[in-house]
Chains A and B, each alone.
Chain A
Amino acid sequence: MSGQKQVANKLLWETLERWKRSSPELDRIKFLKTVPFFDQLSNRQLKAVSDILFERKYEIDELIFEEGQPGAALFLILDGRVAVEMRRENHTTTLAILERGAFVGEMALLDEAPRSANARSLERTRALALYRGDLSELIHRDPETACQIYRALAHIVGDRLRSTNKLVQMEISADKASVA
């Protein structure tokens, strides 16, 4: 291969690589790979998911969703920090503080039941929202991908249920001990 061709080839590949590195779509796919929900999906499947996500930007102290409102979407935190809080009368309990890569409001993917807590951004936050209707539509378009997402969701809900059961068991044991 002549020197000129080699230089042209190198330039072409370098440009392509740079373009690939700076592509927001690729960044989003890379991010999705780090989320437990989607870590089993292939690049093609991640692209299909990325196509149905909405990017939202939140200011400090802005509510992402409110307790009692019907849930419609799951939120993946792309940047920033989000507090999950419960308000009871005058008291607010922070249940968790979530950072990049975490997700919140996953139960909204199953049904329209009211949110059980508030999600509030603690700093400027970027989030990706996955709407329940879009995921339902994905079942018809790409059943394999949708099935994998629902399976991941089932795992997460199952894990939470097991943790809750453990907590309840511990509470019951503690109660029994105090009664004894």
Chain B
Amino acid sequence: MRPDQDFEESEQERKFRRRIFHLVFAILVLIAGGFLIWKLSGLVAPVIVGALLAFLFRPIKERLKIPWLPHELQVLCSFVAVGLVLFFALDTARKYIPDDKQQLEYKVRLKYKLNEQYQQWVMKSPEGKPSMLMSFIQKQTGPLMDKVNQLLELDPKEREQFLHYSAAYSVKNEIGKYFQANQNARKYATPEEAPDAAPATTAAVAAPVQPPPAGESSKWEPWILAPLIFVFFGFDNGQIRRYFIGLVPNRYFELSVTLLDRLDNAIGKYLRGTLTECTLVGLTLCLGLILLGSPVGIAMAIGLICGLVNAIPMLGTVIALVICLGYALIAENVEPLIPGLNPNNLPLYAVVLVGITHVLDDVVFQPFVLGSAVNIHPLVVIVAIIGGSLILGLWGMLFAIPTVVVVKTAVETLFKELKDYRII
């Protein structure tokens, strides 16, 4: 046998061995990866949040890049710049976060105002006698109002606290009046409609206040990972990408870099687009509330929260509606900046404002900002949100659509590129 043939045979054998090794190694990695994700499922959300934040932070890092500075120092500078902005924003927002006393006040006020508005709109007709339609609405919404009242009821501990505050800090007179009125709140459902309402209330009152379970604090511990992941990804200068591309066989090198690049673009477009869209929604609501006479601080806080929850498709608007309506119900001494508006109709204006914002979001913001970044069928959106909420709760709902975007783009690009590179 010639030495050339020998060499060729040994090379063939080596190629075969290499393929078997790669296959076994890939299977082992997949099994180990799957097992780890299943066992460490609590870490998945913090890791994703940290990575997403780093992803969103990347353009800022790139913009603040100073070519003559070492990479680490550049990243540090951008961290400091973003940190300072966030610090001032949070410090400002902190002033508007209600303390224990204010929370109790809001709860009492909300219950009182809700009942007042309900009685004004549903219980009374202009003639003083409820019409047939009103009777029907009352019959349908009565049990719901009872449930809401039950939810807003102060438990014995809160009641004690409230009485303590009202004695020590002279809680406003109206709040005391509201508290008294809430004690005598009537039931809206007729007894035959709500047979279980009364025992439930009794049970809620009678049940001792349970201390939080021991494991409650530990569920937040994995979240320490999120800032760590953010910092590590922030300092990364493409090494992680280069490392993983380095593992790819030569045949798939160009395919892999193209695929990663396209995925990066699609996810980046979607995430940054969503962030811009949420900011625009938050700003619209904030501006609307200011025009309706709300103090700037509260309008900003509501705008911020509603902007954030807007990232949850469909449900975001519902949450924003609940928040704005809740605020409109408890707001007092409001003087709208738009002439001709009646301050007593604030809840109605809040509903209109959320409606206008939603239409603006659908007609202007989404097409303008997101464009055709994602074309996902509404049914897929609903299924993804429900599935996400079942798997990871609120975080699952938030990440459902980005996950669908990643999978959709990955599959589409992979098939296109595999065909272009004549691999399939």
Contacts and interface: CB of A to CB of B under 8 A. Distances in A.
Interface of A: 44, 48, 51-52, 54-60, 62-66, 68-73, 129, 131, 133, 140-142
Nearest to A58: B250
A174 B246 CA distance: 50
A114 to B, nearest CB: 9
Contact of A70 (B251, B253, B421): B421
A51 B253 contact: no
A2 B119 CA distance: 96
A51 B422 CA distance: 30
Interface SS, B side: helix
B199 interface: no
A73 B254 contact: yes
27 contacts: A48-B67, A52-B238, A54-B245, A54-B257, A55-B246, A56-B250, A56-B253, A57-B250, A59-B11, A62-B250, A64-B250, A65-B254, A66-B422, A69-B254, A69-B422, A70-B254, A70-B421, A71-B254, A72-B254, A72-B255, A72-B258, A73-B253, A133-B258, A140-B62, A141-B62, A141-B67, A142-B67
A133 B245 CA distance: 14
B196 interface: no
* Chain B, interface residues (CB within 8 Å), range: 20 to 34
Contacts of A73: 253-254, 257
Interface in B384-424: 420-422
B68 interface: yes
Contacts of B237: 51
Given A69-B421, A141-B62, A129 B67 contact: no
A54 B253 contact: yes
A48 B258 CA distance: 21
Given A51-B238, A58-B250, A131 B261 contact: yes
Given A44-B68, A54-B253, A129-B253, A68 B422 contact: yes
A65 B255 CA distance: 11
A141 B254 CA distance: 23
Contacts of B67: 44, 48, 141-142
A51 B67 CA distance: 13
Contacts of B272: none
B402 to A, nearest CB: 21
A123 to B, nearest CB: 13
Contacts of A54: 242, 245-246, 253, 257
Contacts of A133: 257-258, 261
B274 to A, nearest CB: 22
A94 B63 CA distance: 46
B257 A70 contact: no
Quick one: which of A52, A54, A69, A129 has the most chain B CB within 10 A? A54
A141 to B, nearest CB: 6
Contacts of B62: 140-141
Contacts of A66: 422
Contacts of B68: 44
B65 interface: yes
Quick one: which of B62, B67, B251, B255 has the most chain A CB within 10 A? B67
Contact of B257 (A60, A68, A72): A72
Contacts of B11: 59-60
Which 4 residue pairs are nearest across A and B when measured between Cβ atoms?
Answer: A72-B254, A133-B261, A131-B257, A70-B420
Contacts of B65: 141
A137 to B, nearest CB: 8
A52 B421 CA distance: 23
A72 B242 CA distance: 15
Contacts of A57: 250
Nearest to B264: A133
